[in-house]
């Protein structure tokens, strides 16, 4: 291969891909030889040097990542199915009424004019989303109103489709993926009944803003389900949050004195995420109702530093990579999702036969 041809090949690869990922030449790296064939028995996915490898061995500590991919695939399919249902049902309804399209039917028969968003609804939305007033200008306000209108439109269409499909439900031949990850509560702080049918284990970081929202959802779950659900808290402070590790230790110092007061400290810490230095932690502990002297001795000695590291190591072993991460009877819920996402799983678990 001459110099000009080689240079042209390399340049083409770099320009089209940024790195050489698809070009081949005599100097291409050798690869492991794989032979794709049917398995010799159920559950076996590969054979390495005569040793059969199971699905469980193959996935290993990537179980959570795989489950997230499966959930994304399911959500994508359901989203596409929802679009098809909307188009087919509403197109048929539009045809009956002599209208040109499903969009015209939505506008004239479902929305019946422009959607109105009141100032009260707007203010409620801004408050719930914790949007600082200083960040809102006229352009941002217009975007918020447009978003709220889209949400309201979707709610109205979904409500209409719910009525249309009540007597003629859509049959679905693919199932929602379910994980069955065994998560040990151990000696983690918990609230609810120890014998509850549903156990929620949360891995969280006191300085993570999304975890603050997750804490609010946890309180909503506790209020809604009470002793039907056991909620356990595992420590998972992230490296980028400098005050999170000490706050985790502080929470366990409170828990050591009084397990109920752990949750008072928990709520105070999440409500004051900008005040988690050592001095502030002492104030939060005192406000939680524990003995201040004993708390300071515990905190200064870093008595629970190894405990926090143990929680983190366990979370990493399970595959936790971000916070908050929840396991509801072993089923993964990643992120600070609204209570509806939790209720869907909780209700299924509560109604399931033992």
Is the separation of the CB atoms in 26 and 50 below 8 Å? no
Of residues 310, 242, 256, the one with CA closest to residue 285? 256
**Rounded to 5 degrees, what are φ and ψ at 164?**
-65, -35
CA 180 from centre of chain: 16
**Rounded to 5 degrees, what are φ and ψ at 198?**
-115, 130
The C-alpha atoms of residue 99 and residue 97 are separated, in whole angstroms, by 6
Is the separation of the CB atoms in 295 and 282 below 8 Å? yes
The kind and range of the H/E element at 334 are strand 331-334
The confidence score (pLDDT) of residue 132 equals: 86
**Rounded to 5 degrees, what are φ and ψ at 139?**
-65, -45
Q: Where are the domains of the chain?
A: 190-351
The confidence score (pLDDT) of residue 294 equals: 97
Sign of CA dihedral 244, 328, 210, 79: positive
CATH homologous superfamily, domain 190-351: Glutaredoxin (3.40.30.10)
Q: How many helices (H) and strands (E) does the chain have?
A: 13, 7
The confidence score (pLDDT) of residue 28 equals: 61
Is the separation of the CB atoms in 188 and 311 below 8 Å? yes
The confidence score (pLDDT) of residue 5 equals: 53
The confidence score (pLDDT) of residue 26 equals: 53
Helices 63-96 and 138-164, axial angle in degrees (round to 10): 70
The confidence score (pLDDT) of residue 305 equals: 97
The DSSP code for 97 is T
Is the separation of the CB atoms in 209 and 257 below 8 Å? no
DSSP for 276-310, written as a single string = -SHHHHHHHHHHHT--HHHHHHHHHHTTTHHHHHH
The confidence score (pLDDT) of residue 173 equals: 97
Residue 107, helix vs strand vs coil: helix
Q: What pTM does this model have?
A: 0.71
**In the sheet where 198-204 sits, what is the strand order?**
190-191, 229-235, 198-204, 325-328, 331-334
CA 337 from centre of chain: 6
The kind and range of the H/E element at 127 are helix 119-128
Please write the tens of the pLDDT for every residue from 219-264: 999 999 999 999 999 999 999 999 999 999 999 999 999 999 999 9
The C-alpha atoms of residue 278 and residue 276 are separated, in whole angstroms, by 7
Cα within 13 Å of Cα(181), Cβ side: 30
The C-alpha atoms of residue 265 and residue 283 are separated, in whole angstroms, by 10
The confidence score (pLDDT) of residue 65 equals: 85
What angle (nearest 5°) sits at the alpha carbon of residue 351, between those of residues 350 and 352?
95
Residues with Cβ within 8 Å of residue 139, at least 6 apart in sequence: none
Is the separation of the CB atoms in 271 and 247 below 8 Å? no
pLDDT beneath 50, residues of the chain: 10, 13-14, 17-18, 20, 23-25
Tell me the chain's radius of gyration from C-alpha atoms: 27
Q: 51 is written with which tokens?
A: 């040793």
N- to C-terminal Cα separation, the chain? 70
The confidence score (pLDDT) of residue 83 equals: 95
Is the separation of the CB atoms in 3 and 10 below 8 Å? no
The C-alpha atoms of residue 148 and residue 125 are separated, in whole angstroms, by 9
């Amino acid at each position: 291969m001459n110099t000009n041809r080689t240079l042209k090949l390399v340049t083409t690869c770099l320009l089209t891909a940024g790195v050489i990922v698809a070009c081949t030449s005599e100097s291409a790296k050798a690869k492991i030889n794989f032979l794709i064939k049917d398995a010799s028995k159920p559950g076996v996915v590969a054979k390495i040097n005569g040793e059969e490898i199971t699905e469980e061995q193959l996935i290993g500590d990537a179980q959570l990542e795989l489950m997230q991919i499966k959930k994304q695939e399911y959500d994508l399919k359901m989203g596409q199915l929802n679009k098809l249902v909307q188009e087919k049902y509403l197109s048929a309804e539009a045809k009956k009424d002599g209208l040109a399209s499903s969009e015209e039917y939505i506008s004239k028969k479902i929305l019946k004019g422009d959607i109105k968003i009141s100032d009260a609804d707007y203010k409620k939305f801004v408050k719930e989303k914790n949007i600082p007033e200083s960040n809102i200008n006229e352009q941002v306000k217009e975007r918020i109103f447009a978003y709220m209108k889209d949400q309201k439109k979707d709610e109205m269409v979904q409500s209409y489709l719910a009525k249309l499909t009540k007597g003629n439900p859509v049959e679905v031949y693919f199932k929602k993926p379910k994980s069955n990850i065994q998560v040990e509560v151990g000696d983690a702080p918990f609230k609810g009944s120890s014998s509850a049918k549903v156990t929620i284990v949360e891995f969280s970081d006191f300085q993570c803003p999304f975890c603050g929202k997750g804490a609010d959802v946890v309180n909503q779950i506790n209020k809604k389900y009470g002793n039907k659900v056991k909620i356990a808290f595992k420590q998972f402070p992230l490296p980028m949050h400098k005050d999170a590790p000490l706050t985790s230790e502080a929470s366990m110092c409170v828990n050591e004195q009084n397990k109920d007061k752990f949750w008072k400290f928990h709520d105070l810490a999440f409500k004051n995420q900008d005040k988690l230095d050592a001095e502030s932690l002492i104030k939060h502990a005192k406000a939680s109702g524990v003995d201040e002297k004993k708390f300071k001795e515990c905190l200064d000695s870093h008595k629970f530093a190894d405990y926090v590291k143990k929680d983190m190591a366990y979370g990493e072993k399970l595959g936790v990579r971000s916070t908050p991460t929840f396991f509801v009877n072993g089923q993964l819920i990643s992120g600070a999702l609204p209570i509806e996402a939790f209720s869907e799983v909780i209700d299924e678990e509560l109604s399931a036969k033992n």
